[in-house]
Amino acid sequence: MATPLVAVEHRTEPQDERTALTKEAFQRDFFNNLFYILGKFPTLATKNDYYQALAFVVRDRMLQRWISTAAAYTKQGSRTVAYFSAEFLMGPHLGNNLVNLGIHDEVRKAVTELGLDFNELLLEEDEPGLGNGGLGRLAACFIESLATLQIPSLGYGIRYEFGIFHQEIVDGWQTERTDKWLRFGNPWEIPRPEWAVHVKLGGYTEPYRDEFYRHRVRWVPDRLVAAVPYDTPILGYHTNTANTLRLWKAEAPESFDFAVFNRGDYYGAVMQKVSSENLSKVLYPNDEQLQGKELRLSQQYFFVSASLQDMFRILKIQKIPVERFHEKFAAQLNDTHPAIAVAELMRLLIDENVVPWEQAWDITRRTFAYTNHTLLPEALECWPLPLFAKLLPRHLEIIFEINARFLDEVRIRFYGDEERIARMSLIDERGERYVRMAHLACVGSHAINGVAELHSELLKQDVLRDFYELWPTRFGNKTNGVTPRRWMALSNPRLTKLVSSHIGDEWITDLSQLRRLEPLAEDAGFRQQWLDVKRACKCDFAAVALKKTGITIDPDSLFDVQVKRIHEYKRQHLNILHVVALYHRLRSNPNVDITPRTFIFGGKAAPGYHIAKLIIKLITSVGDVVNRDPAVRDRLKVVFLPNFNVKNGQRIYPAADLSEQVSTAGKEASGTGNMKFSMNGALTIGTMDGANIEIREEVGAENFFLFGLTTPEVGALKASGYNPANYLDGELKEVVELIRSGFFSRGDAELFRPLIDGLVHHDPYLVFADFDSYSKAQQQVSAAYQDRDHWARMSILNSARSGKFSSDRTIREYCDDIWKAPAVPIRLLTQEDVKV
């Protein structure tokens, strides 16, 4: 009898041979894949070949679920969530799929028995980094939770050939390299060229009468691009559900360049192909900073149009009339990047399906809902009208019509308030004219939400105030969450084992169960085990840090971590100024008793964001001095871990003692890294911003290090005329002088001048105003860490009370309040069921 390799107790249906993996079947299939897919044998096989052989074994096990899921949805015509997002920051698939299939440990054993290093194979996967940061990673957590909750759903996005750039640190500076994640192929995707659609661009429109003498408009484009879907299965945890992430690749339509080709312009035809493929070539690396480039708008329209056309195809297969589009689909706009969908759905309904305007508008509004992810004005998308008209002439006409009807409604509600009309218009006409995408998203949606309580309130009071006054009931909050499968079960197996050995493993799908750890915070034995787990994770990370930076760090020091995109509002400079202050204290009084700390930074700067790049240079420069100074005696270390991404995140969060969440109050919409840290037992030092407020509320004020101005205080200080120079005294002054003197730049007093002068004279994010409060809170941290046993108690409580921050809770709220999408459990089909 073969030993079953799979834990089957959570499943009710009979398993076929391919799913109930035995060790023998695993090893047979593994080598079959090596031979027959990769064409290799052990002597020549690389680690990547073995990774792929393993990936295909796993993929085979997913396909039965995928097919069963698709068959059930098709047959039942299930209501489906379509999550529209220009970014999906998925991270590596293999480990997550093993966890969700419930075969992780068994497969690890089987691989190890073959004499291969399982962890090394996992690291071979080039992660799909198809996102910049929070917004893209949230989309990834959401589609995983949707699958786990068995909600029919499709993720729609772009299959960028190059994802977020690879960051290297050269001489302390960030340098960017292209991310060639598809270099060795991608075992997780299946192309579906048979479902390719054409996307039109440019040209002009003309009115005509159709065969029934009806007034119609025809869009005559000057360019066609083929959109080819690449599908990736998204497994639910221990369920039979496998939903689909459908990403579009741009190609030249064969038929279109035919004419050019026949005219003998072979070169022209090839160029056309090249320029079409550009559309999905690269992810724009800007996070919360608008790139007003034509190619970016083309990308947005490209994936939105392809996705909506795909949804019409699905309606047709399921024999659902187009008038019921909104009953079949709930579409979520992940920020304004896909907001053009409002105009595109109108166009498809009116121009291509001859639905009357009023009915089309009703369908459109009932279909869409919009999530805002930032309050930063520079991130609000506005497209210059001439650019818009050139690329999407028909959509501009439709937007004008939507706007005219909308402004009529505003005029009636707010009689005589012409200023309000100008503020709310979909077109900004204060100077050069722009299309305001956030306004388009608002008028075209039945629900609008922010991503944490504070952020949703600020949306109503500030950026979207006029819309709130017009439609108060459309506004709501959906506090973000993260998936505990990737961010605990997969990335922190030690903690998972410890927790499950005490409270069972139901917490993995019901994170509120972690509360049952609370009494264990009073159990000395458990606290010791908890600290042992943390220490082991810190040792793992120390090995990674040594390998990637050459810096040796002490696992018994306090690991103080800030990992996220580099941005002034996130205030990595506040953090590094404090590091310099500690260094200054040590040099001024070498025998001062300080808690040994390792400051760990990670994050990418947008390539054109000079100050952010200079902040990285300051961090690495301070590190160069501090890490080498014998007077420090290893009590301080500063590490900048290059190329922070999902893979690296999985090793950092478990190892952190302290989580830095130090944005200026009112600027960080939510944050989600803050949740990953807290779940894994890190304490937070943070401001009253984004989800920090809710984390503190859950874990208790006594288990959280609060500092800084609140949002109203920030507003008041700015209104009263903030002068940062007024705060430049005491320790802060010494710190600033030290940097200015060139101490960290080999005597070059100019290097950091743009950064330091910016702070002294402008400081838009109130770094100086918050410095003192931050420094004091850091002293409390140091003192608290001295009592390791009490620290363990606080750490346990952070984790135990993090249940709210599971993306399962978030997704349930979206489903109940906005999408109205019920779960559809999947029965596994057998070969019998799917006979043609």
Report, as residue numbers or ranges, the catalytic residues. Answer: 373, 564-565, 570, 672, 676
Pairing of strands 153-158, 242-251: parallel
d(CA 10, CA 64): 17
Q: Which is nearer to ligand 7GP, 134 or 803 (CB)?
A: 134
Residue 5 binding ligand 7GP, by CB under 6 A:
no
Minimum separation from the CB atom of position 389 to ligand 7GP (A): 24
Q: Which amino acid is at 294?
A: E
Among 71-79, 134-142, 263-271, 294-302, which window interacts with ligand 7GP (CB under 6 A)?
134-142
Minimum separation from the CB atom of position 603 to ligand 7GP (A): 12
Q: Which is nearer to ligand 7GP, 33 or 132 (CB)?
A: 132
Q: Please select the residue that binds ligand 7GP; options are 49, 161, 189, 287, rule is CB under 6 A.
A: 287
d(CA 207, CA 197): 24
Of 713-742, binders to ligand 7GP (CB under 6 A) are: none
- Going by C-alpha positions, the residue among 333, 337, 344, 338 that lies closest to residue 392 is 344
Give the side-chain half-sphere CA count within 13 A for 759. 29
d(CA 636, CA 579): 8
d(CA 575, CA 662): 8
d(CA 619, CA 626): 10
Residue 442 binding ligand 7GP, by CB under 6 A:
no
The single residue listed with the structure tokens 């803050």 is 674
Residue 134 binding ligand 7GP, by CB under 6 A:
yes
Q: Which is nearer to ligand 7GP, 240 or 286 (CB)?
A: 286
Output the CA–CA distances (angstroms, integers) from residue 430 to 396, 422, 435, 506, in the order listed. 18, 8, 12, 56
Residue 582 binding ligand 7GP, by CB under 6 A:
no
Minimum separation from the CB atom of position 289 to ligand 7GP (A): 8
**Which residue, judged by CB position, is nearest to ligand 7GP in the bound state?**
134
- 687 CA to centre of own chain: 22
Q: Which is nearer to ligand 7GP, 86 or 580 (CB)?
A: 86
Specify whether the CB–CB gap between 239 and 148 falls below 8 A: yes
Of 689-708, binders to ligand 7GP (CB under 6 A) are: 690
Minimum separation from the CB atom of position 380 to ligand 7GP (A): 8
Residue 566 binding ligand 7GP, by CB under 6 A:
no
Q: Which is nearer to ligand 7GP, 49 or 668 (CB)?
A: 668
Q: Which two tokens stand for residue 316?
A: 């047709």
Minimum separation from the CB atom of position 745 to ligand 7GP (A): 31
Residue 672 binding ligand 7GP, by CB under 6 A:
yes
Pairing of strands 448-450, 368-371: parallel
Q: Please select the residue that binds ligand 7GP; options are 53, 103, 138, 158, rule is CB under 6 A.
A: 138
Minimum separation from the CB atom of position 129 to ligand 7GP (A): 14
Minimum separation from the CB atom of position 133 to ligand 7GP (A): 5
Size of the site for ligand 7GP (CB under 6 A): 19
Give the side-chain half-sphere CA count within 13 A for 280. 27
DSSP H or E segment with residue 448: strand 448-450
Of 461-490, binders to ligand 7GP (CB under 6 A) are: 480
Output the CA–CA distances (angstroms, integers) from residue 557 to 525, 676, 699, 784, 786, in the order listed. 22, 21, 24, 13, 10
Q: Please select the residue that binds ligand 7GP; options are 231, 257, 288, 770, rule is CB under 6 A.
A: 288
Q: Which two tokens stand for residue 544?
A: 């990674």
Minimum separation from the CB atom of position 682 to ligand 7GP (A): 17
Among 69-77, 108-116, 372-380, 507-515, which window interacts with ligand 7GP (CB under 6 A)?
372-380
Q: Which amino acid is at 543?
A: A
d(CA 615, CA 476): 36
* Ramachandran area for residue 157 (φ above 0: left; ψ -120 to 50: alpha; else beta): beta
Minimum separation from the CB atom of position 369 to ligand 7GP (A): 15
Tell me the β-bridge partners of 231.
190, 246
Q: Which is nearer to ligand 7GP, 374 or 621 (CB)?
A: 374
Of 751-790, binders to ligand 7GP (CB under 6 A) are: none
Q: Please select the residue that binds ligand 7GP; options are 668, 694, 731, 763, rule is CB under 6 A.
A: 668
Q: Which is nearer to ligand 7GP, 135 or 759 (CB)?
A: 135
R_g over Cα of the chain: 28
Residue 681 binding ligand 7GP, by CB under 6 A:
no
Minimum separation from the CB atom of position 181 to ligand 7GP (A): 20
Minimum separation from the CB atom of position 564 to ligand 7GP (A): 9
Each residue 595-634 as x (binds ligand 7GP by CB under 6 A) or -, in order, gives ----------------------------------------
Residue 810 binding ligand 7GP, by CB under 6 A:
no
Residue 669 binding ligand 7GP, by CB under 6 A:
yes
Q: Please select the residue that binds ligand 7GP; options are 444, 666, 671, 758, rule is CB under 6 A.
A: 671
Residue 133 binding ligand 7GP, by CB under 6 A:
yes
Residue 560 binding ligand 7GP, by CB under 6 A:
no
3-state SS assignment for residue 281: coil
The single residue listed with the structure tokens 């402004």 is 407
Of 322-341, binders to ligand 7GP (CB under 6 A) are: 335
d(CA 532, CA 80): 45
- Going by C-alpha positions, the residue among 149, 59, 14 that lies closest to residue 484 is 149
Among 109-117, 409-417, 430-438, 669-677, which window interacts with ligand 7GP (CB under 6 A)?
669-677
Q: Which amino acid is at 649?
A: G
470-503 burial, b at 16+ Cβ within 10 Å, e below that, comes to: bbeebbbbbbbbbbbbbbbbbbbbbbbebbeeeb
From the number of C-beta atoms within 10 Å of its C-beta (0-12, 13-18, 19+), residue 522 rates as: exposed
3-state SS assignment for residue 629: coil
Among 339-347, 371-379, 489-497, 699-707, which window interacts with ligand 7GP (CB under 6 A)?
371-379
d(CA 239, CA 72): 14
Q: Which two tokens stand for residue 400?
A: 């004008």
Give the side-chain half-sphere CA count within 13 A for 402. 33
Minimum separation from the CB atom of position 480 to ligand 7GP (A): 5
Residue 659 binding ligand 7GP, by CB under 6 A:
no
Q: Which residues bind ligand 7GP (CB under 6 A)?
A: 132-135, 138, 287-288, 335, 373-374, 379, 451, 480, 668-672, 690
